[in-house]
Amino acid sequence: MKKLIFTFLMTSLISLVYGQQDPQYSQFMFNKLALNPAYAGSGETGCISCLYREQWIGIDGAPRTITANFEAPLLARRVGIGLNLIYDQIGISKTTTASMAYVYRLKLGDGYLGIGLQGSLINTRVNWDMTTVVEIGDTEVPTGNPNKVSPNFGAGLYYHSEHYYVGLSIPHFLNNNIDFGDADIPSSTEVISRLDQHYYLMAGVMAKLGTKIKMKPALLIKYEKKSPFDMDLNLSFLFVDRLWAGATYRLGGSSKKGFGESIDVVIQVHITNQIKLGLAYDFTLSEIKDYTDGTLEVMLHYCMNSKKTKLVNPRFF
């Protein structure tokens, strides 16, 4: 059955793509720059984040994602910059994305509105040598390790105050051709695989439940015109400004059952005022749950200490 699922994943890559292509994150509320370029520079100091995600543990060829980013405010926080690296592997396909974001921030009401632009280079690679030929001598099976680099650009809006945030973004506007078909074969001259536009809407609210406990509901809506509706609903609690603990319900993932994709447990520990360690584990709800041990995600977040000013507003958003 694992080989069958692997074959299904591979078929999704080499046939017409009708699905969400961007990586997903269980710790989306702590990894906003990977989804919205306008988040860059929204804090008081520069920050570095690294994330590792292994999805559907136990299934050969399942998605594996590594993300590293840096973002910082400039010019009295009127401008923000961001750098983002994403490595995403699914079976024999590997995608590496390098992005740079520029954000202009405006004071609006009791918060700030960031208007962000992003430029990206996307490297797509397929290692056909990892496949096994069932019929020896089958000349229709590609060989080698072809790759292509495609430029793209995106944009986003991110508004935040002390108590809430909301953001809207489109990380890539261009429908890049990511097909590796043989142009010498007439049937393959039509582009069968493209990078489609993805839309993200994020929001969260912070509410005090006492002197030592805060509550933050958050949501992330992911939309791609050829994919089913997808949404993450999270409820987290912050204890003594040191420990986040919460859970996420992810819709979608099943075409037959209405239980959704997964229930995700999310924990983040503030080891110091500068260093945060996050862990997430997804309990799969869809039909694939019988063949996987779930999904694991680890995130390390570091914010630089400003010697000139003391942090007034910790990075809760």
Q: Where in the chain are the domains?
A: 2-303
Q: Region 146-163: what's the mean pLDDT?
A: 94
Query: What is each CA distance from 208 to 215, 228, 240, in whole angstroms?
Result: 6, 35, 11
Residue 222: in which H helix or E strand, if any?
Answer: strand 213-223
What pLDDT, in 10s, does the model give residues 255-295? 666 678 899 999 999 999 899 999 999 999 988 888 999 99
Q: Region 68-79: what's the mean pLDDT?
A: 94
Pairwise pLDDT comparison (251 vs 12), residue with the higher score: 251
Q: What confidence score (pLDDT) does residue 178 get?
A: 76
pLDDT at 15 over 60: no
pLDDT at 5 over 60: no
Rg, the chain, Cα only? 21
Place of tokens 């990206």: 120
Q: What confidence score (pLDDT) does residue 160 get?
A: 95
Q: Region 148-162: what's the mean pLDDT?
A: 95
Q: How many CA atoms lie within 13 A of 110 on its CB side?
A: 5
Using a 10 angstrom Cβ sphere, with 0-12 exposed, 13-18 middle and 19 or more buried, the burial of residue 194 is middle
What pLDDT, in 10s, does the model give residues 214-244? 999 999 999 988 777 789 999 999 999 999 9
Q: Region 76-98: what's the mean pLDDT?
A: 94
Residue 172: both structure tokens together: 């890539």
C-alpha–C-alpha distance, residues 21 and 93, integer Å = 12
Identity at 57, one-letter amino acid code: I
C-alpha–C-alpha distance, residues 117 and 99, integer Å = 10
Q: What confidence score (pLDDT) does residue 13 get?
A: 37
Confidence at 126, pLDDT banded by 50, 70, 90: confident
Q: Region 27-36: what's the mean pLDDT?
A: 95
Q: What confidence score (pLDDT) does residue 127 get?
A: 84
pLDDT cut 70: percent of the chain above it: 81
Using a 10 angstrom Cβ sphere, with 0-12 exposed, 13-18 middle and 19 or more buried, the burial of residue 49 is buried
Which SS3 state, helix, strand or coil, does residue 172 take? coil
Pairwise pLDDT comparison (175 vs 257), residue with the higher score: 175
pLDDT at 253 over 80: no
Q: What confidence score (pLDDT) does residue 22 get?
A: 84
Q: Region 168-185: what's the mean pLDDT?
A: 77
State the average pLDDT for the chain.
85
Using a 10 angstrom Cβ sphere, with 0-12 exposed, 13-18 middle and 19 or more buried, the burial of residue 153 is middle
Confidence at 25, pLDDT banded by 50, 70, 90: very high
Q: Region 246-250: what's the mean pLDDT?
A: 96
Query: What is each CA distance from 185 to 142, 181, 308, in whole angstroms?
Result: 12, 8, 64
The fold adopted by the segment(s) 2-303 is Porin (2.40.160)
Q: What confidence score (pLDDT) does residue 140 get?
A: 67
Q: What confidence score (pLDDT) does residue 86 get?
A: 96
Residue 177: both structure tokens together: 């051709």
- Closest to 112 measured CA to CA, from 160, 51, 151: 160
